Structure 1
C-alpha cells in the first residue's frame, strides 16, 4: 500500500451531504475485483450526462480540479452499502485525502486500508476549508499526517485528530496483509514447530 505522510495538492469542493457509495462508484462498475480502472467511474452519474459526455458543471470536470488530490465534502460521506470499490475508485482517480465532518464507519475504515486519509474536522473548520477549496487554481491544501495539520493557501492551519494505530499504518504503508507480513518470522517459526510436532498434518 502507498504510504501517506505529506500531501500538497489541489482540493476540490463537493458541498453535498450524504454522498453514498453508489454515488461514489455506481453499481455498474462493481463487476471487477481489480483496484485499477475504477477512476473512470468515480461519481459517474454526476460527472457524465446520459449520452456519455462530461457534465461541465461538475467540479472534477472543471479545468482547475481535474487533477485534484483532496476532496472537501459534506457530512456523512461514504454512507450506504459497504462496497470497497468506493475507496478504490477514489484512489485510482488520484484522490489521497477526503475531509468532512463525518464519515460512514465502514467507508472510513476502508480508506485506511487503501492509502487514503479521511480527516474529520469541525463544522467551522470544514467551512474554512471549503472556502479554500472553492478558489479554483489557487485551491491548494497541504496535509501533514505526522503533525496532524492542514495548511491552507493563506497560511491558516487546521489541526485534526486520528487514531494512533491507523496513523501508523498509513505512515508505514501497511494494509492488513502488510501488518501480517510484519510477523512473517513468527509465522514461519510457528509453522516449523507445527510441522515437527505434527508431520502428518
Structure 2
C-alpha cells in the first residue's frame, strides 16, 4: 500500500448521514475477486439511472469534483454490512481520506487495512468543511504525522487516531506487512523449532 504522510486534495462533500455499504457499492458488483475495478461502481445507484447514464442531480457527477481525493460525509458513514468491497470502491475511485463525524467500526477498520485514512471530526467541523466544498472548489491538506487538517484560509483542526492505525498508514502496511516486520524473529523461531 502507498504510505500516507501528508495528503493534499480536492474535497468532495457528501452531505448525507447513515450511508451504508450497499449505497457505497451495491451488492450486484461484488462478484470480482481482485481489489481493483470497483471505483466505477461507487455510489452507483445515486450516480447512474436505470439505463446506466450519469444522473445530473448527483453532485459527484459534477465536473468540479473530478479528481477529488478527500471525501467528507455525515455521521455513521459505512454502516450496514461488513463488505470490504466498500473501502475498495472508495479507494479505487481515488479517495485517500474520508472525514466524517462517525463511522461503522468495521468499515473504519477496513479503511485502515486498505490504506485509507478515516478521520473523525465533530459534526460542526464536518459541516464547515462541507459548506466550503459545496460553494467552491475546496482543498484540504491532511498531515497524518502531526494529526492535523488545514486549508489555506485559516481552517485548522486536530484529529485523533489510534497509534497502531497511524503506524500502519504512515508505513503503507497492511496486516501482512506488519507481520513481516517480525520476519527475523519468525525465522529464528522456525530454526529453533526445527
State the match for 1:156 in structure 2.
155
Q: How far off is 1:66 after superposition?
A: 1.7
CA contact (8 A) 1:10 1:139 kept: yes
CA contact (8 A) 1:46 1:58 kept: yes
CA distance in 1, matches of 2:159, 2:133: 17
User: Could you list the runs of 5+ residues in structure 1 that have no partner in the other structure?
Assistant: 196-201
Paired residue total: 194
CA contact (8 A) 1:132 1:153 kept: no
Q: 1:142-194, CA deviations, whole angstroms, 9 ceiling, x for partnerless residues?
A: 11111111112422111111111111110011110000110111111111222
> TM-score normalised to the size of structure 1?
0.94
State the match for 1:140 in structure 2.
139
CA contact (8 A) 2:75 2:123 kept: no
> TM-score normalised to the size of structure 2?
0.97
Q: Write out aligned runs for 1:13-24 (5 A).
A: 13-24=13-24
Q: Write out aligned runs for 1:28-177 (5 A).
A: 28-136=28-136, 138-177=137-176
Task: Kindly report structure 1 stretches of 4+ aligned residues shifted beyond 4 Å.
Answer: none
The structure that has the greater radius of gyration is 1
State the match for 2:5 in structure 1.
5
User: Could you list the runs of 5+ residues in structure 2 that have no partner in the other structure?
Assistant: none
Q: 1:2-28, CA deviations, whole angstroms, 9 ceiling, x for partnerless residues?
A: 111111111011011100000001101
